Chain A
Amino acid sequence: MPKNSILAVISVIAIGMAAIGLFVSGGPSVGKAERRDQARIEDLYELRELTFCLAETAGGVLPKIIDNSDTCARDIMFNDPYDDVPYVYEWISERSYKYCASFEYPERITIYDSASFDPTTGCIQFTYRP
C-alpha cells in the first residue's frame, strides 16, 4: 500500500470520527444545556441534604412538604435557576421520596450513587436512611 494512501486513510478516519463525535456530542448549545442540567442535579442533591436534615430533626420522619426551616437553614435553590420553575418534591413512603426538575437532556444524565434517575420524568428517587 503506497505511503500516501495510508496517510490518506489515517486522515479520513480521524476527520470522519471527529465529525461523528461532533454530531453525536452536539455543538456548544448542547454542551451549555448539559452544564445547566448538571447544575439542576446539584441543586436536587442539595435539596436531598435539606430533606435529610428536616427528617432527622423531626425524629426520623420524612417531611411531606419541604421548607427552609431555621434548624436546617441553608443557602439552597428551590427553583430552577434558569427558568425559575420550582423543583418538585414528592413524598413516596416513609423511607423514599423524589425530586424532579425539567431537564433539557435527561437521557445524558448519569447518577453516581444509589439514587435512581428516571429520564422520562426527570425525577431522582432517594432513600432516607436515618
Chain B
Amino acid sequence: MRNSDRLAQFVEASLEQQHSREEISETLSAAGWSASEIAEGLGAWAETQNSPPIPRPMPYVSAKESFLYALTFVSLAMTAFHINWLGFELIELMLPESSDWGNGYGEVRWTVSALIVFVPIFLFMNFRVLNEAGKDPARRRSTVRKWFGYITLFIAAVVIAGDLIAALNALLSGDLTLRFFLKAGLLGGVAALVFVYFRGEMQDAEE
C-alpha cells in the first residue's frame, strides 16, 4: 500500500468518526506527516459534516484523452519547430552569408508542407480539447492533460533559457548580427507564446 493510500484511509476513517479537521491535522503532524501531505490528505474530502465523508473529485487517466493530448502536443511541437525552421530559412534567404551551404528552397518547401498539415491538426485538436473541457469541467482534472501541459512548459522554458544563453554568448563574442538577432528573436518569441499559453492552461487545470 502506498503512503498516500494509507493517509487517505486514515483521514477517511477519522472523518467518519466525526473527528475535526484540526484534530486530524494535529495527529498527523505529530506522526511526522508534512503540512503539504496533510493538506492533500484532508483536501481529498469535502468540508461537510456528512458521514460517510464525501470524496472530492480526483485527477484521472484515460486512454482516449492520452490520444487526444498526445496528438495535440505533437502537433503543437511540430508547428513550433517548423515555424522556427521556416523562419530561419527565410531569414537566411533574406540575409545571405558567404558561408551558407545550399539554397534553402527545398527546406522552405518541406517546412511549408509540414505547417500545412500540422497547424490545422493542432487547431482542431486544441479546439476539441477545449470544447470538451468546456462542456464537462471534469475533463480539466485529466492527469494526462497536466503531464503534457507541464512537459510543454518545461521544453518551452528550456528553449527560452537556451535562446537567451546563445544570444548573450553571441553578444559577448561580437557575433550578434542582424541575422542572428532575428533568429534568436523568432525562437524566443514562439517559445514565449507557447509558454504563456500553457501556463494559462495549467493554471486552469490546477484550479
Contacts and interface: CB of A to CB of B under 8 A. Distances in A.
Interface residues of B, number: 29
A108 B83 CA distance: 22
Interface stretch (A19-27, A42-50, A63-71, A93-101): A19-27
Nearest to A20: B90
Nearest to A18: B115
A14 B83 contact: yes
A61 interface: no
B197 A7 contact: yes
B123 interface: yes
Given A3-B200, A10-B190, A14-B115, A24 B79 contact: no
A17 B87 contact: yes
Interface stretch (B5-13, B14-22, B48-56, B106-114): B106-114
Nearest to A107: B103
A92 interface: no
User: Which DSSP category, helix, strand, loop or mixed, fits chain B's interface?
Assistant: helix
B116 interface: yes
Given A11-B119, A31-B109, A110-B102, A17 B86 contact: yes
Contacts of A9: 193
B176 to A, nearest CB: 23
Contacts of B103: 108-110
Given A3-B197, A24-B90, A14 B79 contact: yes
Interface of B: 79-80, 82-83, 86-87, 89-90, 93, 101-103, 105, 108-109, 111-112, 115-116, 119, 123, 126, 190, 193-194, 196-197, 200-201
6 contacts: A6-B197, A14-B82, A18-B119, A21-B112, A21-B115, A25-B108
Given A21-B111, A24-B105, 6 more contacts: A3-B200, A6-B193, A10-B197, A17-B90, A31-B109, A34-B105
